[in-house]
Structure 1
Amino acid sequence: MSVPARLQAALGDWEGRNQLWFEPGSDAIECATTAEVRAEASGRMLAVRYQWSHDGKPCEGILLLGDDLKAGRCDAAWADSFHNGHRLMPLTGPAAGEGVPDLRGSYPAPPGPDWGWRITLEQPGADALLLRMYNITPDGTEALAVEASYSRRR
């Protein structure tokens, strides 16, 4: 495992705005957000720890990911105090390498089938970081659920 090469420059402290959508087409719920991006496990993994709020209550999450270039995949584990309670969600996708991690997992939605969850993390510029999360219905319809836009903290 290794930190995706494209995200090496993302290490550091970040601040920005978080947008949350409960339904496609609804107005976004916005709040301030901060994030810390660190190399972990002797540089083999990337940890993104972030904080935000909903209805005045603090929320936090962590995404731990690494590229397995030999296997051609990126593996991750994600937890968020608002989105998935006490559950750790495993996610996987193609190895990011020089690209953007595009990770997919799923969560139970009883009494129906599981729903999907997709997370992307990109650094469009040296001082910009973008974390997006998508909800995916059982029939494959995807909708943006979270977009956190960060600037490097000075």
Structure 2
Amino acid sequence: MAKSKFEQSLEDGAHYRITKIVGNWKGTTKTWFEKDVLVDEVLTEAEITSILDGRFISYDYQSSLEGKPLIGKMIIGFDIPYQKFTFSWIDSFHMGTQIMQASGAATEKGFSILGSYGNPEYGDQLFGWRTELEIINGDEIVFTAYNIMPGDEETKAIETILTRN
């Protein structure tokens, strides 16, 4: 009997790649609010778990920003019909009470996905937020996020380098 597309993806495709990073992680997060001005560098702990038999992973992390506790969660998956990575992201600082949805392409070592966020206080135009995952090897991953102001170039906002516990 032929394998389903999902079974094949779990065996050697996108789902295989993301489930390989399931585990406990520790590292550092750097944050910038404006180009080339580092605001904070802190310790980060994360747990990545498999959800729904490998269809998704949950990236749960805790850290701080300027001395205040910060927690967050991403549900990450690969959309087989549309051949793209997707995530939903919430956290206690950047997103407030919003949920960001993002999607984008696979890269050689992970993915690069684009979402948007806004607030009526900032006007009608949405800001962009591009997130990259780079799987360096089985014991090191890097999440990098870039803020994109309306009509402006993207600038690095967050870089989290994690090693497996």
TM superposition score normalised by structure 2? 0.84
Answer yes or no: is 1:132 the counterpart of 2:144: yes
Shift, 1:19, TM fit:
0.3
Q: Deviations over 1:93-133 (max 9, x none)?
A: 12x38641211111114225111001111210121011111
1:96-111 matched pairs, under 5 angstroms: 96=106, 99-109=109-119, 110-111=122-123
8 Å CA contact retained: 2:57, 2:77: yes
Given candidates 70, 85, 88, the residue that maps to 1:74 is 85
Compare the two structures and name the one with the higher helix fraction: 2
User: Are positions 1:22 and 2:33 aligned together?
Assistant: yes
What is the DSSP-based 3-state SS (H/G/I as helix, E as strand, rest coil) of the residue aligned with 2:19?
helix
Q: Which residue of 1 aligns with 2:19?
A: 8
Q: How many equivalent residue pairs? A: 152
Cα shift at 1:13:
0.1
The 3-state SS of whatever aligns with 2:17 is: helix
Measure the CA separation in 2 of the matches of 1:57 and 1:97: 33
* Aligned partners of 2:51 and 2:57 also within 8 Å: yes
Task: Classify 1:151/1:99 alpha carbon distance in 2 versus 1 (closer, same or farther; 3 Å).
Answer: closer
What's the counterpart of residue 153 of structure 2?
Answer: 141
Question: What's the counterpart of residue 85 of structure 1?
Answer: 96
Instruction: Give the aligned partner of residue 122 of structure 1.
Output: 134
Gaps of 5+ in 2: 1-5
> Letter of the aligned partner of 2:140 in structure 1?
A
Equivalent pair of 1:20/1:29 in contact (CA under 8 Å): yes
Taking the aligned partners of 2:163 and 2:70, their CA distance within structure 1 comes to 20
The reply to whether residue 65 of structure 1 matches residue 76 of structure 2 is: yes
In structure 2, C-alpha distance between the alignment counterparts of 1:29 and 1:4, rounded to whole Å: 33
2:65 is the alignment partner of 1:54:
yes
Choose 1 or 2 for highest CA Rg: 2
Mapped contact 1:119–1:133 kept (Cα < 8 A): yes
Amino acid corresponding to residue 137 of structure 1 in structure 2: M
Range 66-75 or range 40-49, more displaced: 66-75
Whether the aligned pair in 2 keeps the contact of 1:4 and 1:98 (CA below 8 Å) is: no
- Given residue 150 of structure 2, which amino acid in structure 1 is its aligned partner? P
SS in 2 for 1:5: helix
**Contact kept? 2:87, 2:102, Cα under 8 Å:** yes
- Give the Cα–Cα distance (whole angstroms) in 2 for the partners of residues 35 and 92 of structure 1: 22
The answer (yes or no) to whether the contact 1:6–1:98 under 8 Å persists in 2 is: no
Distance 1:115 1:33 in 2: 26
Q: 1:44 maps to which residue?
A: 55
Q: Which has the higher contact order (CA 8 A, sep 6+)?
A: 1
